[in-house]
């Protein structure tokens, strides 16, 4: 699993809802009938079951994401070492692997920053 698919798994599908138009216009959102809430819960239940089967917990998902970033860093280091030692590694391939590792590391740092921001926001909430 690459980093982009891991983020898509965490973020979920981005769909426009009719409530977003109401909240953006400044109006109050209408209350949702309980029948629709039950329908939504039944629609979401299979997705959460497949998510737990596919990736396990959120901790496992983040752990595998960090592991993939580490593997890309190692591959970039190996490509650079092979290039400097004169092995059959092209300059293009070494640069591509280094940039892939750089981009994935930057994305991991941004995910960490977003998680810390959300944690701090939760800590500021009054109970």
Structural domain includes residue 28: no
- In this model, does residue 10 exceed pLDDT 50? yes
Structural domain includes residue 51: no
- In this model, does residue 46 exceed pLDDT 50? yes
The mean pLDDT of 94-113, rounded to a whole number, is 95
Structural domain includes residue 70: yes
Structural domain includes residue 90: yes
Specify the pTM: 0.54
Residue 111's alpha-carbon distances to 43, 44, 104, in angstroms, are 28, 25, 10
Structural domain includes residue 44: no
Structural domain includes residue 127: yes
> How many domains is the chain partitioned into structurally?
1
Structural domain includes residue 81: yes
Non-local (6+) Cβ contacts of 22 within 8 A are: 28, 29, 30
- The terminus-to-terminus CA distance of the chain in angstroms comes to 39
Q: Indicate the pLDDT class of residue 58, thresholds 50, 70 and 90.
A: confident
Chain-centroid distance, C-alpha 51: 13
Structural domain includes residue 19: no
Residue 26's alpha-carbon distances to 18, 29, 33, 41, 117, in angstroms, are 13, 9, 21, 27, 26
Residue-number span of the structural domain to which 74 is assigned = 58-127
């Amino acid at each position: 699993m690459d980093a982009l698919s891991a983020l898509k798994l965490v973020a979920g599908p981005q769909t426009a809802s009719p409530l977003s138009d109401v909240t953006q216009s400044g109006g109050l959102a209408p209350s949702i009938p309980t029948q629709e809430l039950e329908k939504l819960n039944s629609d979401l239940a299979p997705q959460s079951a497949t998510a737990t089967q596919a990736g396990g917990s959120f901790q496992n998902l983040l752990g595998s994401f960090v592991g993939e970033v580490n593997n890309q860093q190692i591959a970039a280091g190996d490509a650079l070492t092979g290039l400097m030692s004169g092995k059959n590694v092209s300059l293009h391939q070494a640069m591509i692997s280094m940039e892939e590792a750089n981009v994935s590391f930057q994305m991991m740092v941004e995910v960490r920053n977003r998680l810390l921001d959300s944690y701090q926001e939760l800590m500021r909430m009054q109970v």
